[in-house]
Chains A and B, each alone.
Chain A
Amino acid sequence: MTDERENPFERFDLDPREGPRAITERLRELAEDAGEAERATIRAAWEELTLHPLRRLRAAIGARPRHPALDRSGPEHAPPKLRKAAAEEPVGLADLAPRPSVVQALASFLSRGAERGPKAVLSLDEDPVLAAGAPSSDPAFAPTSPERKR
């Protein structure tokens, strides 16, 4: 109850008042986009919240009530055409940092990136585009250290 990271309602942005069916639907949506590890976590949360009403109640009471404006301010309520306006005041670092709601919205996207693992990200040397254009040895732009000059 004291650890918001572990509270499944907060972690998966679920409204406890919506009941097991809505919880199931939301978690199914999340599971579809999730990697294997995250899917197991989602399944555990689903079991916790839908199979045990007392545990669901306990988790619900341990979850912060949602912001009252949340249901009227999601992406689906964005205006049809967004206009770009110049900022009236200088933008500070705090203004650039993602808001918690944004971080949460990106969480599943970021976790998918993490699950691909570091090996999936090519280094510059392995980049096929760069590799195709580079000479096979002693490139023209190689550093000219004293040793190399000899």
Chain B
Amino acid sequence: MWREEDEALLTRLTDEIVFERLFRAQASAGARPPARGAGLCAALRRLPGGSEALVEATRGGKLEPLLALLEPARQIDPPPELLHHLALHHAALADAAASSTDAFVRSITAWLALGREDRYLRELGEAVTGGALARQDLDRALADAPLWPIEELGERARNGARDLTADAQRALAALGRVPEAARIARAPEALAERAARRATSIVAVAVEEALAPVIAAFTEATTHGDPSASVGASLLNRFVAVWRWSGEDESVEHAAIEQTTPLAWAHYRASRWDDLRTLIAPVAPLVDSLAKRIEEDPSQLAYAARAAQMLVFRSDVVRTEQETIVLLDRAITICPTHRNARLMKANTLCDQALRLLPGARAPTRADHDKAAGLLERAEQIYPGATRLPEARKRLGEARKLLGITS
């Protein structure tokens, strides 16, 4: 006689077989499936098309229909048990596969979607704590529960920060995608905001942890005077490594520019242009990135002047005048009142005008007009430009030679 208990056993063992296949297909052939993972199949069976997907996976070994059901983004109001399973399943895959951040993001998505399921969490919480927690403590814990995996990712990120490990980098990348996960999960607005805030502050702590040894090395190297350009550049390369590891975090750009600026001034004041070029070359992508942020959000004034100054330094050591002009224009765009950028731009325009005005002989009328236009712009940009008086004088001589009276 086929009993209800036999049916239950058959269902459970079928789910265990399917889950094994599924987990090994997603993680790796040698991965050990979690003991309770089969509950995921039981939860999937209750979805529309879930039973059919399980039958296909059992008989034909065809997993695609089942895999489609594992995507939290595709689920519309899934049962909370399924979200709970999906959150832990994708977290286990993230550990097992250790390759992409997507599994982490799917896990966070499922956790944040579970945050909508107050009743499920409360029932679980009350059953588990059985009155051992004060009401307000339980409320607080349950409200925070969907954020616990975010904190755990933060711990992973912090733990590997000093060594810039790949695991920590994946955790950081996933933390950066928390707003995306909250959007997919259709998390309540308050929960989405808290999740994003928590992730941002956790990332900041991890990046600070990664920067700490780099800044310490910089401080050590500069204690007994300025390091050589090559030593300075190699130290700055460590900032670049942290920047890339962190997914190009803005705070690394700030820190790198802060450390670079005094060393760059030392080379600039001594007119050591090759050294200046060597020193600032590593941080060029960081400066460009920060400049882009400021261009996109002009309210970011705090670092505009520093970023502009780094562009001015670079404008002094690039090979062509065209490159110089582009860099100075960018510096003025992000920091319109930047004195050095305006002075340099005005002087560069004066140089261009002077090349059009030979002095001893008359220029063409076209060159005269062009030079006059350049000097007018130079005067507008920085009336006190050091080369402006000489250029004005040369323009006056050209006017005489050309017989221009008005």
Contact = CB atoms under 8 A, between A and B. Distances in A.
A64 B95 contact: no
B381 to A, nearest CB: 57
A70 interface: yes
A57 interface: yes
A64 B84 contact: yes
B9 A10 contact: no
Contacts of A66: 36, 39
B98 to A, nearest CB: 12
Contacts of B11: 69, 73
B42 A57 contact: no
Interface string A22-60: 000000000000000000000000000000011011101
A147 interface: no
Interface string B118-152: 00010011011110110001100100010011001
Given A2-B152, A64-B84, A100 B20 contact: yes
A143 interface: no
A55 to B, nearest CB: 10
Interface in A79-115: 79, 94, 99-101, 103-104
B128 A64 contact: no
B195 to A, nearest CB: 15
A3 B94 CA distance: 10
A94 B21 CA distance: 9
B154 interface: no
A58 B12 contact: no
Interface in A110-150: none
Interface in A1-16: 1-4, 10, 13, 16
Given A67-B42, A73-B9, A101-B12, A57 B125 contact: yes
A16 B40 CA distance: 17
A15 B137 CA distance: 22
B148 A58 contact: yes
A100 B35 contact: yes
Contacts of A72: 4-5, 8-9
Nearest to B90: A2
A67 B141 contact: no
B37 interface: yes
Give the interface centre of A4, A20, A64 by most chain B CB atoms within 10 Å: A64
A16 B9 CA distance: 22
Given A4-B34, A54-B133, A61 B85 contact: no
A16 B127 contact: yes
How many chain A residues sit at the interface, stated as a range, is 35 or more
Contacts of B40: 64
B35 A17 contact: no
A99 B41 CA distance: 15
Nearest to A53: B132
A63 B36 contact: yes
Contact of A67 (B15, B121, B129): B15
A20 B13 contact: no
B38 A67 contact: yes
Contacts of A56: 128-129, 132
B88 interface: yes
Contact of A60 (B8, B17, B92, B124): B124
B141 A4 contact: no
Contact of A1 (B3, B37, B137, B148): B148
A64 B20 contact: no
Contacts of B38: 67, 100-101
Given A2-B152, A56-B129, A101-B12, A67 B145 contact: no
A2 B149 contact: yes
18 contacts: A1-B91, A2-B95, A17-B128, A19-B127, A20-B130, A53-B133, A57-B125, A57-B128, A58-B148, A60-B124, A67-B38, A67-B39, A70-B12, A77-B8, A79-B5, A94-B21, A100-B19, A100-B37
Given A99-B13, A100-B33, 9 more contacts: A1-B152, A2-B91, A62-B88, A66-B39, A70-B12, A72-B5, A73-B9, A77-B8, A99-B20
Interface of A: 1-4, 10, 13, 16-17, 19-20, 53-54, 56-58, 60-70, 72-73, 77-79, 94, 99-101, 103-104
For the complex of A and B, the 9 pairs showing the least CB-CB separation, nearest first, are: A53-B132, A73-B9, A72-B8, A69-B8, A2-B91, A77-B5, A17-B127, A64-B36, A4-B34
